[in-house]
Each structure stands twice: as structure tokens, then as C-alpha cells.
Amino acid sequence: MSYKIRNILVLTGFLVLISLVSGYLLLLHFPRKANKIEKDIKSLKKQVTALDGIEAEYYKLEEVIQGQEKKLAKLDKKIVSSVSPANTYKYLNTILDHSGFLEFNLLFLGEKEAKGYKYNAYSVKGEGNYGTIYRFIAYLEKGPEFYKIKKLNMRMVESKDEETGRNKIVVPFDMELWALFADVDELPRIKRTLNNVWVGYVTNPFYPHIYRNIPANADGLPEVERAELKAVLPNKAMIADNSGKVHVLKEGDPVYLGYVSKIDVEKNEVEFVLNKGGIVERFKLQLRFNESK
């Protein structure tokens, strides 16, 4: 074979190879790449379109955050993740340092859950003069700890002082107290304490203008208006007077200023009829239950 023919064949082979490569690039590779680029461009355009107005949304969100920060800065209650009965008892005794001495006992009713928060419920029962009770309640409501008085009963009791023989006014009270707590993100610490609570002067609405002619408790009978019901049994009940002495009573038994009129086992209560200087009243004592487990 001559050199001329061989060179022609080699050149023809190169031309065929170049044609195949060029055809692949022009007909398959570049069109596919162009399609991918077009898709990427469309995707980027969608992302850019989605970003329209995001700056305005950012500023709105920033305003909301600043508003929440201002509210948190004004927070005057300390929110904690839990409050034990020991913490509550200690806090109530700290309040007494500000309000004045007050006799009370604390009964834990159990932990309960509400929407977004939990609370420990307590029954607080005691007695004292009205001014001290008023200040005690005011410090509870206005103090830095998160407490809520759910129920409150107060009444005026007039009796004779055994030492002086003079009439005296005592205000027994019974309240249901909630200690609130919640699992929340870390909040700024509040600087307010019980020392920052201001309580104004109040007039005692229970103070009588005219004392009733109430006899002295010469026989040492239980003063039921200042007592606590401890147990209710068929045909008998056990009560503890304000000194802690326990009395077992039956229907018809005498008490200071009256007698036991009814013992209701189903309702866990005892009813008394009292004669206060010619004014006959019915008074009930109910059993307090500890619901904690």
C-alpha cells in the first residue's frame, strides 16, 4: 500500500472520530448542560422571588422581640420551675416578719396542673387581728413570689379574755392558697423583694361599735369558731380548739355559747347552734383533706 493511500485512510479516521465527538458534544452534552443551567436559573429565580419582603418580615419580628423584652423587663413576679411545701412554709414565715405575728397551719392539698403552668394547692387556716391578716394577704398578693389566693373565708369572733374578763375580737380565717410555677426559658431576675411592698393603713370592718353581752367561758368548753375539725365518726366528732386540745363531741353536747346540733358523716361536717347575746347563729366546721400522694 502506498504512503498516499495510507495517509488518506488515517486522515479519514481522524475526521470520523472528530465528527463523532463533535456530534456528541453538539447534540447531547451541551443541550443537557444547557437544560440543567436553565433549571438552576429558574430555581434561583424562585428563591429570589421567595425572598421578596423578607426584610420587612425581619423588622416585624424584631419589633415583636423588642416588645417581649420590654414586657419581661417589667415582670415583677419570680417564675420558678418548682415550689416545694417547705419553700412555701418558709416564704409565709418570712412574710410574718413584715406583716406581724399570725397563728396559722398549712395543709398541702396536692400538686395540680393547668394550661401552661402547675401549682401546689394549700389550705391555710389560722386566726389573728384583722390588721395583721390584711397585711399578710397584701404581702402574698403583692410580693415577688407567685402566689394566688383562690378562696378566703373570714369571720369575727367575740369572746371573753380569761385573764382580764374583757371582751376581745378575734378573726379566724381559712383560705385556699396556690403556689404557681412553670417550666419556662430563663427569665431576667427580678430585683423586687418583700421590702419593696407597700401596705396602706386599713380600718377593721369587724370591730363592733357595741359589744354584745357574751358570758365568759367559765367551764372551759371548746370555742368552735376558733377550732378545727379533726375527724367525723358515726355519732361523734373530734375537734381541736385554738390551744390544740382535742375534744370528742356528740350531738347535743355543749360548746362555748351553744351546742352540737348535727354530725354529718357523709358531708364530713359538724353543725353547731350558737347564741351570741340573743342572736342565734348556725356555724359549721368541715373536715380538711390532704390530697397529696
> Are residues 68 and 98 located together in one domain of the fold?
no
Helix (H, G, I), strand (E, B) or coil at 257: coil
CB atoms under 10 Å from CB of 157, counted, come to 22
Domain C-terminal end among 14, 42, 73: 73
Domain assignment present for residue 130? The answer is yes
Does residue 246 register a pLDDT over 80? yes
Give the DSSP letter string of 170-227: EEEEEEEEEEEE---S--PPP---GGG--------TT--SS---PPP-TT----GGG-
> Are residues 93 and 181 located together in one domain of the fold?
yes
> Are residues 241 and 157 located together in one domain of the fold?
no
Domain assignment present for residue 44? The answer is yes
- DSSP assignment, residue 284? E
| Phi, psi for 60 (deg, rounded to 5) | -65, -45
> Are residues 57 and 90 located together in one domain of the fold?
no
CATH label of the domain that carries residue 160: 3.30.70.60
Select the more confidently predicted residue: 109 or 47.
109
CATH label of the domain that carries residue 244: 2.30.30
Mean pLDDT of the chain, nearest integer: 82
Return d(Cα 158, Cα 282) in angstroms, integer.
Answer: 15
Angle (CA) 108-112-116 rounded to 5° is 140
* Banded model confidence at residue 293, pLDDT cuts 50, 70, 90: very low
Query: HSE-up of 39 (CA within 13 Å, CB side)?
Result: 6
Burial class of 99 by CB neighbour count within 10 A (0 to 12, 13 to 18, 19+): buried
What local confidence, expressed as pLDDT, does residue 289 receive?
72
Indicate the range of 113-117, 134-138, 222-226 predicted with least confidence.
Answer: 113-117
Mean pLDDT across 145-166:
81
117: which strand partners?
114
Domain assignment present for residue 12? The answer is yes
Helix (H, G, I), strand (E, B) or coil at 137: helix
| Structural domain count, the chain | 3
Cβ contact 217:280 at 8 Å: no
Cβ contact 88:120 at 8 Å: yes
The tens digit of pLDDT for each residue in 3-27 reads 677 777 767 777 777 777 777 767 7
> Are residues 99 and 178 located together in one domain of the fold?
yes
pLDDT above 70 coverage of the chain, percent: 85
> Are residues 126 and 181 located together in one domain of the fold?
yes
The pairs formed by 285-290 with CB atoms below 8 angstroms and a separation of 24 or more are 285/224, 285/227, 285/228, 285/229, 285/239, 286/229, 287/229, 287/230, 287/231, 287/232, 288/107, 288/123, 288/125, 288/228, 288/229, 289/109, 290/107, 290/108, 290/109, 290/110
Residue 22: which residues within 8 A CB-CB, separation 6 or more?
none
- DSSP assignment, residue 119? E
Domain assignment present for residue 99? The answer is yes
Return d(Cα 99, Cα 252) in angstroms, integer.
Answer: 40
Does residue 223 register a pLDDT over 60? yes
Report yes or no on whether pTM surpasses 0.75: no
> Are residues 180 and 132 located together in one domain of the fold?
yes
* Banded model confidence at residue 292, pLDDT cuts 50, 70, 90: very low
Domain assignment present for residue 63? The answer is yes
> Are residues 158 and 258 located together in one domain of the fold?
no
What local confidence, expressed as pLDDT, does residue 212 receive?
64
Domain of residue 185: give its range: 85-196
Return d(Cα 262, Cα 23) in angstroms, integer.
Answer: 111
Domain assignment present for residue 204? The answer is no
